[in-house]
Amino acid sequence: MRKYDYRKIESKWQEEWERNGTTGAEDDSSRRKFYVLNMFPYPSGAGLHVGHVESYAGADIIVRKRRMEGWNVLFPMGWDAFGLPAENYAIKSGVHPAESTAANIDNFRRQMKSLGFAYDWPRETNTSDPAYYRWTQWLFLLFYKNGLAYRDKAPVNWCDSCQTVLANEQVEGGACERCKNEVVQKDLEQWFLRITEFSDRLLDGLDGIDWPEKIKAMQRNWIGRSEGVEIVFRSERVRKSESEKDFSISVFTTRVDTLFGVSCVVLAPEHPLVKEIVTDEHRATVGEYVKQAQGKSELERTGTELDKTGVPTGATVKHPFTGEDIPVWIADYVLATYGTGAVMCVPAHDERDYGFAEKYGLEVKEVVVSDGESGKLEAGSGKIVGGGEGEKGRRGEMGQAFIEKGRLVDSGEFSGLTSEEAIDKMVEALASKKLGEKKVNYHLRDWLISRQRYWGPPIPIIYCDKCGEVPVPEKDLPVLLPDDVDFNPTGESPLTASKTFHDVKCPKCGGDARRESDTMDTFVDSSWYFLRYCSPHDGEHAFSSHDVARWCPVDLYIGGAEHAVLHLLYSRFFTMVLYDAGLIPFEEPFLKLINQGMVLGEGGEKMSKSKGNVINPDDVAAEHGADSLRMYEMFMGEFEDAKPWDTQGIVGVDRFLDKVWMTVHDVVHTERPEADDALDRLLHKTVRKVSEDIEAFKFNTAISAMMIFLNEWSKSATGGRETAGTFLKLLAPYAPHIAEELWHELGNEKSIALEEWPKWDEALTKDEVVTLVIQVNGKLRDSLEVAAGEDEERVKEMALANEKVKGYIEGKEVKRIVVIQDKIINIVV
RNA sequence: GCCCGGGUGGUGGAAUGGUAGACACGAGGGACUUAAAAUCCCUUAGCCGCAAGGCUGUGUGGGUUCGACUCCCACCCUGGGCACCA
């Protein structure tokens, strides 16, 4: 049985706060601003998840405390409302995505309000609202005008089950991140955003922002900057027939120092030179191999690990230094999309090359870079031999290639140089022959934003037979999504089915034209939503530069880590583009990022429908109240760690809140004296602990401190209205409803959310009497109660006079006494 | 393979060089009650001991230090991310 009716007081105060606009940001530039943002949710049919609650409650606590401290805080919420699930639901049920999305949003909003999150509701934003996506389209045109949006035919990722192309970032291990279906490569004409132009800025910017190292590392890896050398291998071939022309192959390598170990040059099967260079003798086998490689999915090609396949082309190229003939092969372990689509194969110094060379019995050149200890590769076998003991033997066992740097051997004029020196010298030598130069490559690809689906913002482009690609004039925005469409996916956008949409007049020449029928990736919507919140009702601009300059960048961004190389990378890219366009005065959108830890099921496994271990926050709130739910999630463990749900554990928080209720009521109804010295000191300690812990996101230990205080206070006969008021202010960010109710029962009129955050007196957080631990040789033997700040000599005397201590030091020589003031004394004998 | 984390009671977790296990759950015992619920009080790392007390203990093995969960080295296990990027 609960001690109070949380249902009644929670809904009462939620209505009251909404009526009085208690939680809004103010248009007041005289106070310090603070912009806290939760990643906005996709409003799914399943409603809010306890993981959402974790994230939102953490942000809400920070926000409420900062507001009480006098900051002008912006804390908005909105909906990432476009996306596939709504469309898939429409295919199944016939309900229009706009309709199901609106219903889901209503449910999400109801849930959020029922949990008392202090969002600035008048700023609510919905990406599927024409008033929003009009500006998403406007931003696309801005990119287009600046040469940052382009259409290109390229091999792209296609998901057959979602019936659309995907960005590289949306492919996980060769499968669609959404449906886990295998992704295939297709050559299609698609729209791209030129994110690669920002590779270095996206990389460098990471150094200046306060984000988890993990996310930064993921972005660095994803951008994948790699410095190396592009080497040109020339054919200089002796022509056997007219069809055989001279050619040259560029390869990219980060290890030009191993150039004297090259066994062959390997092209990706898709490399454009393949058809040109293959000799008549090998044309059939090469053609067969290329066909077979293209039939393989990404998953098959990358899944085979070290089992390399390939075929020779019959062609040869000249080694740039020795002039030796180097055979040219094709193999599908070489990626067409990275570097030049061709590599030099150096079996002695690269494990993949080693595997390839071994399989096909290619000539394996001996080690050309050595650490001076390792043995050489045994001619022909490729095994490292003659290593001897220790280091060398170990390396031999692990086999294969020596991939570290060292000193060059058997490398002509470069022999004897270190790898680093050799790289410089070789680049110089290659450059003078025009056979090579330094080159930087990136893993990052341009962002493919076309989607062959309905429920997204239409790409504002018109194709005219006469004028070609024509951007929709700004005055004609938004390009509205039509309603007369067939949702069943056919591989073409459902928008092509709409005649009213598809057939238009060219804005330039007035002739017959057709609209681009693809929509944009929903990640485009979410790349700028944090700007829209600053002036959500602006009908003239995507955002007001004035308001954005006031509120942005976002000071604190809280959300899941799953967006590391998606939303979090794209938003940074958008921000840089808008900065360059002179529209915003900053280059990084989110100064500090915190990832909440995942809330796991009771067994410690991920919550999932199939496991049947999903906890519904509505159920928990109905049974325990919103305050208990919020507070329990904060108490479960460290905010950033994954933690399992424990249905039994929440009663601890119930009991705590009940005890708060009883204790404050006792204060209200009896004439309790104000806190005595001991309780007052504990209160000051608690104020400090809670204040500091909130700033450090250590909500669990802040709650623990409040529990400790309450346990003492409820037992004490002292601690009146003043104590109660201070305590309730500390509690208010965590459990806003009960705090508000009791605050009013104490006789206050104004909302506790508008009160001032309590301060602590540093002197009162220190005890007058401290427990001093006595150790002998580092082992705990006894303790002393002494006045704080007691003199060191005096403490030593007391310790040596201690009866227990005497027993341990009797007959031994005291070598040293270590005294740490007010903490410990260690006697070394 | 590479890059981040993490390993502490029956459980969630505290403690970032100074009394390991705060706080909470669970469990055991007691009070109140005709009874139950609720509440309150006590016990709760392990081992030895009637007790006073002692010994052991933070994944494993070493090291630094008066003192190590905390710092250093090596290893084991585990969660997550990336992965034929040349």
pLDDT, tens digit, for every residue of A679-706?
999 999 999 999 999 999 999 999 999 9
Find the mean pLDDT for residues A532-547: 96
Of A612, A737, A721, the residue nearest A672 (C-alpha): A721
Q: Measuring from the CA of residue A340 to each C1', which nucleotide is nearest? A: B86
- Tokens 């499968």 locate to A175
CA A711, C1' B66: Å apart? 38
Q: What DSSP string describes A65-83?
A: HHHHTT-EEE---EE---S
- pLDDT exceeds cutoff 70 at A396: no
Round to whole Å and give the CA distance between A305 and A333: 9
Of A66, A68, A44, A137, the residue nearest A519 (C-alpha): A137
Protein residue nearest nucleotide B68, by CA to C1': A778
Work out whether strand A310-318 and strand A461-464 pair parallel, antiparallel, or are unpaired. Answer: unpaired
* Helical axes A650-669 vs A617-624, angle rounded to 10°: 40
CA A778, C1' B19: Å apart? 11
Distance of CA A772 to the CA centre of its chain: 46
Q: Is the pTM of this model over 0.90?
A: yes
pLDDT value, residue A240: 62
Round to whole Å and give the CA distance between A556 and A393: 53
Grade residue A174 by pLDDT with cuts at 50, 70 and 90: confident
Round to whole Å and give the CA distance between A135 and A137: 5
Out of A3-12, A211-220, A298-307, A596-605, pick the least confident. A298-307
CB-strand contact A343/B, under 7 Å: yes
> For strand B, which residues in window 724-763 of chain A come within 7 Å by CB?
none
In whole numbers, what is the pLDDT of chain A averaged over residues? 89
Grade residue A303 by pLDDT with cuts at 50, 70 and 90: low
CA A653, C1' B1: Å apart? 46
First to last CA, chain A: 59
Would you state the structure tokens that stand for residue A717, as one six-digit string?
A: 């006969």
How many C-alpha atoms does A512 have within 13 Å on its Cβ side?
A: 2
Round to whole Å and give the CA distance between A716 and A724: 13
- Sign of the CA dihedral with A415 first, then A367, A267, and A197 last: negative
3-state secondary structure of A571: helix
Find the mean pLDDT for residues A513-517: 94
Work out whether strand A512-515 and strand A164-166 pair parallel, antiparallel, or are unpaired. Answer: unpaired
Out of A81-95, A304-318, A433-447, A756-770, pick the least confident. A304-318
Burial string for A250-287 (b: 16+ CB within 10 Å, else e) reads bbbbebbbbbbbbbbbbbbbbbebbeebbbeebeeebe
> Could you tell me which residues come within 8 angstroms of residue A252 by beta carbon, excluding any fewer than 6 positions away?
A228, A229, A230, A338, A339, A340, A342, A343, A439, A441
pLDDT value, residue A281: 92
Structural Rg of chain A based on CA atoms = 34
- Sign of the CA dihedral with A689 first, then A691, A696, and A697 last: positive
- pLDDT exceeds cutoff 90 at A241: no
> For strand B, which residues in window 545-574 of chain A come within 7 Å by CB?
561, 564-565
Give the H/E segment covering residue A390: helix A390-398
Under a CB-based contact definition with an 8 Å cutoff, are residues A149 and A274 in contact? no
Cα torsion A794, A797, A798, A800 to 10°: value is 160
A390-393: Cβ within 8 A, 24+ apart = none
Length of chain A equals: 829
CB-strand contact A452/B, under 7 Å: no
CA A655, C1' B35: Å apart? 24
Of A762, A786, A761, A764, the residue nearest A773 (C-alpha): A786
Under a CB-based contact definition with an 8 Å cutoff, are residues A115 and A56 in contact? yes
CA A368, C1' B2: Å apart? 24
Find the mean pLDDT for residues A757-763: 94
Q: How many CB atoms lie within 10 A of CB A293?
A: 20
Global ipTM: 0.94
Round to whole Å and give the CA distance between A510 and A751: 61
pLDDT value, residue A364: 77
Task: Give A45-70 pLDDT, tens digit per residue.
Answer: 999 999 999 999 999 999 999 999 99
Angle CA(A627)–CA(A628)–CA(A630) in degrees, nearest 5?
Answer: 65
Q: Measuring from the CA of residue A345 to each C1', which nucleotide is nearest? A: B86
Of A597, A660, A714, A822, the residue nearest A54 (C-alpha): A597
Task: Give A562-578 pLDDT, tens digit per residue.
Answer: 888 899 999 999 999 99
> For strand B, which residues in window 175-194 of chain A come within 7 Å by CB?
none
- Sign of the CA dihedral with A261 first, then A262, A263, and A266 last: positive
Work out whether strand A78-79 and strand A125-126 pair parallel, antiparallel, or are unpaired. Answer: parallel
What does the longest C-alpha to C-alpha distance in chain A come to?
110
Find the mean pLDDT for residues A579-605: 93
Under a CB-based contact definition with an 8 Å cutoff, are residues A126 and A79 in contact? yes
Grade residue A365 by pLDDT with cuts at 50, 70 and 90: confident
CB-strand contact A214/B, under 7 Å: yes
Cis peptide before A585 (omega within 30 of 0): no
pLDDT value, residue A373: 55
Protein residue nearest nucleotide B19, by CA to C1': A773
Distance of CA A304 to the CA centre of its chain: 29
Grade residue A172 by pLDDT with cuts at 50, 70 and 90: confident
Round to whole Å and give the CA distance between A436 and A229: 7
Of A680, A675, A678, A687, the residue nearest A719 (C-alpha): A675
Under a CB-based contact definition with an 8 Å cutoff, are residues A788 and A763 in contact? no
Angle CA(A120)–CA(A121)–CA(A125) in degrees, nearest 5?
Answer: 105
**Between A175 and A15, where is the model more confident?**
A15
pLDDT value, residue A379: 37
Q: What DSSP string describes A591-645?
A: SBEEEPPPEE-TTSSPP-TTTT-PPPHHHHHHHH-HHHHHHHHHHSS-TTS-EE-
Round to whole Å and give the CA distance between A441 and A558: 32
**Between A440 and A183, where is the model more confident?**
A440
Round to whole Å and give the CA distance between A828 and A284: 85
Under a CB-based contact definition with an 8 Å cutoff, are residues A734 and A741 in contact? no
- pLDDT exceeds cutoff 60 at A155: yes
- pLDDT exceeds cutoff 60 at A385: no
CB-strand contact A306/B, under 7 Å: yes
- In A222-323 the beta strands, taken as DSSP E runs, fall at 226-234, 248-253, 264-267, 310-318
Positions on chain B within 7 A of a protein C-beta: 3-5, 11-15, 18-20, 22-26, 37-41, 54-55, 66-68, 79-86
Of A270, A269, A275, A277, the residue nearest A233 (C-alpha): A277
Under a CB-based contact definition with an 8 Å cutoff, are residues A235 and A278 in contact? no
- Tokens 């035919």 locate to A153
pLDDT value, residue A117: 96
Find the mean pLDDT for residues A62-79: 96
- pLDDT exceeds cutoff 70 at A445: yes
Would you state the structure tokens that stand for residue A435, as one six-digit string?
A: 């056979």
> Could you tell me which residues come within 8 angstroms of residue A779 by beta carbon, excluding any fewer than 6 positions away?
none
CB-strand contact A399/B, under 7 Å: no
Would you state the structure tokens that stand for residue A761, as one six-digit string?
A: 């007196």
Protein residue nearest nucleotide B67, by CA to C1': A778
**Between A641 and A394, where is the model more confident?**
A641
Find the mean pLDDT for residues A452-481: 95
Round to whole Å and give the CA distance between A576 and A172: 26
Distance of CA A666 to the CA centre of its chain: 48
- Tokens 């002393």 locate to A784
Protein residue nearest nucleotide B79, by CA to C1': A642
Of A807, A802, A803, the residue nearest A829 (C-alpha): A807
Work out whether strand A816-820 and strand A824-828 pair parallel, antiparallel, or are unpaired. Answer: antiparallel
CA A682, C1' B45: Å apart? 29
Compute CA distances A514 → A137, A367, A478, A773, whole Å: 17, 61, 16, 84
Q: Measuring from the CA of residue A705 to each C1', which nucleotide is nearest? A: B23
- Tokens 């022999």 locate to A415
**Burial of A793: CB neighbours in 10 Å, binned 0-12, 13-18, 19+:** exposed
Give the H/E segment covering residue A516: none
pLDDT value, residue A794: 84
**Between A768 and A241, where is the model more confident?**
A768
CA A725, C1' B45: Å apart? 39
CA A644, C1' B75: Å apart? 30
- pLDDT exceeds cutoff 60 at A394: no
Task: Give A610-620 pLDDT, tens digit per residue.
Answer: 888 899 999 99
